[in-house]
Amino acid sequence: MAKAVLVTGAQQGIGRSCALAFAAAGYDVAVNWLDDVAAAEAVAAGIRAAGQRAALVQGDVAGVAGCRALVQATLEAFGRIDVLVNNAGIFPRVPFLEMTEQEWDRVLAVNLKGSAFCAQAAARAMVAAGHGGAIVNLSSQSVRGTPVGVHYSATKTGVLGITRSMALALAPHGIRVNAIAPGTTDTAQPRYGHSEEELQAMGRAVPLGRLGRPEEIADLAVHLASEKAAWVTGQVWHINGGSYMP
């Protein structure tokens, strides 16, 4: 039986690339989507073209019940969950002096609470099955700070904290937890608030001379979930072309 992965926020961008990369590596994939069923169906078609099973799982990770429902749907579709990729996230850019409580709460609910409780639900299923597993959390280069994303930077820094703590909590169960912190990646997200000319300038400013590709983030996620990374847990992997070296 193929292993199964749940990828949150998989209808586009890095999540889409992760879903396709895991399918290419032989996983059945639960594709979580929020508001674009056509995009999600296109991802599922790519998974099936790779010879793997796909399940479309609509839902919002901002609430605990939603997180648990995504994992339950994965179990119902495939009978197991071996890997969780906590990719779902939002970055509504807003100057700090204009940020509202509602904006703060929404970003924390999706990016941080969602990651924590999707991980909890997946880990409970992995523990019950007794086969261990892997969780890959998506952080961001924005841990270094961003003036129009105080709430976003707070969540992505928080992701590092929960990654390390969950790695310690889940190690006795054979569940590994790691985080990937991408730099600016060529997806829809950086295009929100930036012109194409500005994006190209951002790419030229990177030491390696370009923006990241979502496939590069996905390849790292597959590696961290694989047996090739069997002694890797609690780590933060920065992938940014040299633009941030903590």
Residues serving a catalytic function are 140, 152, 156
> Smallest Cα–Cα separation from 157: which of 189, 112, 187, 115?
112
Residues 6+ apart with CB under 8 A from 130: none
CB 124 within 8 A of CB 75: no
Q: What are the residues facing 136 on neighbouring strands?
A: 85, 178
Q: Which amino acid, one-letter code, is at 59?
A: G
In the sheet that holds 236-239, the strands lie side by side as 54-58, 28-33, 4-7, 83-86, 133-138, 175-182, 236-239
For residue 68, what are its two tokens? 């648990």
Burial 198-220 (b: 16+ CB within 10 A, else e): eeeebbeebeeeebbebbbbbbb
> What are the C-alpha distances in Å from 103 to residues 91, 151, 152, 156, 183?
10, 8, 10, 15, 23
Using CA atoms, how far apart are residues 98 and 218, in angstroms rounded to an integer?
34
